[in-house]
Amino acid sequence: MTHKLIHTPNYLLVVDDSEIKERDYCLMFDDFGNLFLGGLPGQYLGEKNGHHLNKGLKKVIVHFPINDSPILEGVDLLPPLEQSLSQTNMPVAFECDVKSYEQEYRMPIREVRITTHEGHTQWVGKYIY
């Protein structure tokens, strides 16, 4: 399964339209697909904390911090890049390994994940340049 990467100054991100719940990280897009707030992921804290969901929000489902940015707690990680990042050689997508659980458990195909030594969930696959 291939996912398009979104490049921001501090992260490589994959977003989707899945339900956004309290404490999820998300990005805000306008009607033309442009990022608001310079592409800085924000944490949704719920309406009781003054946050409101709107159609421009997309849930961050996996990320890779760059430029010494912090890990987004609770969001899966992409694997480390094998080379230094530059504007001319940035990956455009991530192809994740998948495993089908349909026959055993009647569940859909799902990304393969591992747990890092630090206890973070990391996707398995390769970057596409």
CA dist 63 and 13 (Å) reads 4
Residue environment code for 20-41, b if the CB has 16+ CB neighbours within 10 A, otherwise e? beeebbbbbbeeeeebeeebeb
Answer yes or no: are the C-beta atoms of 41 and 25 closer than 8 Å: yes
Please tell me the pTM assigned to this model.
0.79
Residue-number span of the structural domain to which 89 is assigned: 2-128
Give the chain's domain count: 1
Residue 76 near residue 60 (C-beta atoms within 8 A): no
Which stretch of DSSP H or E encloses residue 103?
Answer: helix 102-105
Per-residue pLDDT reduced to its tens digit, 53-95:
777 888 999 999 988 999 999 999 999 987 665 656 789 999 9
